[in-house]
Amino acid sequence: MEQKQKSEFTKQLILNESFKLFYSNGFKSTSIDKVMLATKLTKGAFYHHYKNKKELGIAVISSKVKQRVYDGMIAPLYQPGNAIKILKNTFIERLKSFSILEKQHGCPMNNLINEIGDNETVYQIALKKIIEEWQAALIFLIDRGKSENSIKKNIESKAVAVYLISAFEGIRGIRKLYTDDAIIDEYISGLSIYLQNLEA
């Protein structure tokens, strides 16, 4: 393996294992030593790629967390088709598709917002970029729905976008308190009614 490829492999290994540890154990309780133990790498390998844990945290947010949100919640909003159906598929079907582990641990992005979102400006900026990209995609879809007469024209696109994101992230957090999906089922019922009320 060439040095450049080996270096990139090492970097990705650190990112992948760090994301898993942050998700399962929390950011604050995950030390560099724990990351090294999970990756079976030396501290020298870590410091070759990252100056400190803060830099690693930003890298995990900007790559692993951002990609996860993009793939699951942003990219689908740019697909062709009926806007209401796309909203239902993105928010409702995505929620139904989560594994038991994902339901128990909640949303990785939301967990980080709650744990470190008020600590450092750099974390806030990295997390806000994801939220704002998600919001922009929703506004685009809602505006398209309005122009295609599938969504009521008097709807405030930004308000709907903020509400949908906030409600979705909220139920991901609340579900962590329960051992079954009853609370998710209630949320889906409420969201279905809300989306129905958006239809033109």
Q: pLDDT digit string (tens) for 75-102? A: 999 999 999 999 999 999 999 999 999 9
**pTM of structure:** 0.93
Say if CB 150 and CB 86 are below 8 A apart.
Answer: no
pLDDT over threshold 80, residue 4? no
Q: Tokens at residue 192, please? A: 């279905």
The CATH architecture to which 55-198 belongs is Orthogonal Bundle (1.10)
pLDDT over threshold 70, residue 25? yes
pLDDT over threshold 70, residue 103? yes
Say if CB 43 and CB 50 are below 8 A apart.
Answer: no
Say if CB 86 and CB 79 are below 8 A apart.
Answer: yes
pLDDT over threshold 60, residue 1? no
Domain ranges in the chain? 55-198
User: Locate tokens 């957090």: which residue?
Assistant: 173
